[in-house]
Amino acid sequence: MDHSIASVRRYPDIKLYRDDFSHSHAGMIVHPGKRILFISNPGKNGGEVTAVRIDTGRYSRTAREEYPIFSNRLPSFEYSIYECTEEYTFASGIRNPSGMALSLDGERLFVAERAGKILALEVDSGTVLQTIDVSPMGYTTIGGMAVSPTSGDLYFVDIDANEVVKVEASDGECTYNSLLNSGYKSDIEFSQKEFSANCGSSVPFSLTRDFSCSVSGIIPNGTLFEQVHTDGYASENPDVQSDAGMDASAALLTNRTDCEYDSGLNFDALLLGGYFCHVCLPQNHGSSCDDGGTCQNIQWQGFTCDNEFYVDYDDDSDSLVLSSLYYETTYSHENIIDIFRGTTYRFTVRTGDDRPVKITQNLDMTGGNSISISRLQNPSSFEDVTTGPILVSIDETSPDFIYLTSGELKPVTFVIKHREAEGLTDDNMPTTVLPSAAVYFSAQEAFMWVALLSLVGYAAFMD
């Protein structure tokens, strides 16, 4: 990535704290009129929303010495530390705040409590106007939120339900009595005018700024603007930080496992290196895959997951074809594919409208209905899917076989196993290849054949 004309500023005065949930979303949003950044701060004082006035803060020093991993050595790349930034607690007593969104008029800030509540707070006073409890509907892991710029409807993501949910705005104009004291508001406006008249407009009026704060400027070492660092993200090859290209040695962070808070690993390197798959990332044990998945970096491109398949229709063979970017392998109905309990699998369907796909636990070639086991994970799987994902969570209650089907096409079969019992690793996807002339049986027919063979074996044993 080229940061030669970028501006990256660090604000060490702003302290943010995680909650107890490694998968939690912590939202941020800027009020366009008031120029205030609202930040979910779930681990501070039991949960609060921190407000930062984004036009405050003063340049202190370069960040290149204290944070020595950065992406461009040219002086045009601003990498600085700002201090004396104005911040304050906007609202407290919010349990695990996560997503945030502003109403269209900017008068209300919606803040989600992760466990299933949405609070509407008045921006001027920071007080709660209304609470929406969605936990009785099963939404107990709220993540990001957004307000539609056209309808004003509120949308939120629930992580465990894997759904985007709409909260419709009420009909008519939303009215409420402001909890801000009218006398206080008029006094503030008067004080702002007096302050500007006596102190000038260059210093904005504020009740929360620490006017005694002073920055600790340090004259930087000039070599910080010349050298190419060799301690992780960067490489001794000068091409790594120029437009000429990047070499493989810039991926030295891939195998780092020293993830402790006091380790020598600089987590800025993960950010600047564009890592989405790394053992030191907090989500899903370092994986950006669905639960139970293992990711793998593809240098300069992204990552793949071992629990994700792409589903296509092949015109030449008139059959379904699965592919895995992780294993660089293509599968057909002639393969029986091993999948494992304790894992959520993502099947991204790309067959088009003429080839709807579903995953079933029963095969019935006589035209009867099959049962979709993915219904609880993906609402769209009530109907056959033609475009988009099907998510299937495999656990102890799942059957030993499931099938990917589409109309009269031959199904793709998955056998469900325990990873530990098989003693398998993620190095290779175990599959069984059926003979090309294999006969396709329905589940009922297969059961009858197994029963018949068992009886024959028993009779031979008795003889």
Tokens 């060799």: give the residue: 230
Q: Output 140 or 254, whichever has higher pLDDT.
A: 140
Portion of the chain with pLDDT greater than 70, in percent: 68
Q: Is residue 235 predicted with pLDDT exceeding 90?
A: no
Are the C-beta atoms of 359 and 347 separated by less than 8 Å?
yes
Residues in the chain: 463
Q: Is residue 382 predicted with pLDDT exceeding 70?
A: no
Tokens 């074809």: give the residue: 321
pLDDT of residue 122: 93
Q: How far apart, in whole angstroms, are the C-alpha atoms of residue 301 and residue 310?
A: 18
pLDDT of residue 227: 41
H helical segments located in 297-384: none
| Per-position DSSP letters for 193-245, written without gaps between them | HHHHHHH-TTS---SS--TT------PPPGGGGT----SSS--SSGGGGBTTB
pLDDT-derived band at 419, boundaries 50, 70, 90: confident
Instruction: Give the mean model confidence (pLDDT) for residues 422-450.
Output: 39
Within 10 A of 3 (CB to CB), how many other CB atoms are there? Answer: 18
- Work out the angle at residue 52's Cα, subtended by the Cα atoms of residues 46 and 53, and round it to the nearest 5 degrees: 160
Task: Give me the sheet containing 154-158, strands edge to edge.
Answer: 142-147, 154-158, 163-167
Convert the pLDDT of each residue in 20-51 to its tens digit. 665 578 899 999 999 999 999 998 988 999 99
pLDDT-derived band at 372, boundaries 50, 70, 90: very low
Instruction: Give the mean model confidence (pLDDT) for residues 217-224.
Output: 60
DSSP-based three-state secondary structure for 398 = coil
Instruction: Give the mean model confidence (pLDDT) for residues 92-99.
Output: 92
Q: Are strands 412-417 and 335-340 parallel, antiparallel or unpaired?
A: parallel
**Roughly how many angstroms between the first and final C-alpha of the chain, as a whole number?**
76
> 177-191, 218-232, 255-269, 276-290 — which is least confidently predicted?
218-232
pLDDT of residue 453: 35
Pull the structure tokens for residue 223: 């070599």
